[in-house]
Chains A and B, each alone.
Chain A
Amino acid sequence: MRKFNITIEIMPTDSVLDPQGEAIELTLKDNSKYQANNFRVGKRIEFVIESKNNLSAKNTVKELCEKFLVNEIIEKYKIKIENAKN
């Protein structure tokens, strides 16, 4: 078995209102210095799993996301897998 470092980036889907992103944007609206807009606020989850290979690790993480870590009605996600240093 090999160890993998997993990173999951979770973001609200485009059709979902993101009031946190909106609040940030509104706060900066009066500040012309930054010219920043389209804020969306998400979250990042990191963990380690043991698996046979990269593909089986990815499948396990995908299942974990679908069953628990992500609610796909309102969230989309990206998985990053790296070999862990033992």
Chain B
Amino acid sequence: MRKINFGIIQFPGSNCEQDCFHVLKNILKQNCKYIWHDSTSLRNIDCVVVPGGFSYGDYLRTGAIAAQSRISSKIKEFAKGGGVVLGICNGFQILTELKLLPGVLLRNKSLNFICKDVHLKISNNSSIFTSEYNINDTLKIPIAHAEGNFFIKNSKIKDMKKNNQIMFQYTNHDGSLNDESNPNGSVMNIAGICNQEGNVMGMMPHPERVSEALLGGQDGKGIFKSIIKNLS
């Protein structure tokens, strides 16, 4: 199997890029490099990872300033050309600001920054990002965000359902889905979505933090393994 070339984007204020790098390079043995925000090249990259953090201090709106950076216009071109893009936490927020993904991430309903393990249901396992899972599998993955409340107009949510764009939903530990299992007020308990074409995914939980047993779990590893398998 050929090694996949991952490019991990770094903005001022990114803080999860090293975790992603560690998982992809040291655990999954892939090629991996950091790409600084004012770079203008994604040459030879197979998959772009937009990591979590607080790019540009979350000024204006989360992800809004990062979406204006030089590399972001290249990410947009890359995605429009069918390139695979994964956005995690702040990366998800950036991808919505870039309009590569629909909707927006609002302030958590509770106004609190929430940092805890949550349970997720796999709502779509026929994607590049989730093919290693079974439908309705329940994963335990941590979230760490203040703006993870996914919002989209009612009319658009119907399209998303029809196009199978809902990837993960917050559930209870037994896989049941209700208001109690919704940590931040997201529409339909949505924790992760993809674009209509299926090559761009954003998710608020952090799979890179649970990709080795030493760190307490491996439930997130399947996302990276899915990408590797589908691209190689």
Distance between A19 CB and nearest chain B CB, rounded to angstroms:
5
Which residues of B in the span 84-119 have a Cβ within 8 Å of any Cβ on A? 97, 103-104, 106-111
Residues of A within 8 A of B109 (CB): 17, 19
Q: How far is the CA of A17 from the CA of B185 in the complex (A)?
A: 10
| A55 contacts chain B at the CB level, 8 A cutoff | no
Interface SS of A by simple majority: loop
The number of chain B residues touching the other chain, given as a range, is 10 to 19
Which residues from chain B sit less than 8 Å from chain A, CB to CB?
60-61, 64, 68, 97, 103-104, 106-111, 151-153, 185
**A19 and B107 contact, CB distance less than 8 A:** yes
| A1 contacts chain B at the CB level, 8 A cutoff | no
Residues of A within 8 A of B185 (CB): 17
Contacts between the two chains (Cβ within 8 Å), count: 30
**A71 and B103 contact, CB distance less than 8 A:** no
Residues of B within 8 A of A15 (CB): 153
With A16-B151, A73-B151, A74-B151 already in contact, the answer to whether A68 and B107 are too (CB < 8 A) is no
Distance between B5 CB and nearest chain A CB, rounded to angstroms:
31
**B64 and A68 contact, CB distance less than 8 A:** yes
With A71-B97, A71-B104 already in contact, the answer to whether A20 and B152 are too (CB < 8 A) is no
Residues of A within 8 A of B97 (CB): 71
Closest to B110 in A: A19
Residues of B within 8 A of A17 (CB): 106, 109, 185
**A69 and B60 contact, CB distance less than 8 A:** yes
| A28 contacts chain B at the CB level, 8 A cutoff | no
Residues of B within 8 A of A68 (CB): 60, 64, 68
| A79 contacts chain B at the CB level, 8 A cutoff | no
**B61 and A71 contact, CB distance less than 8 A:** yes
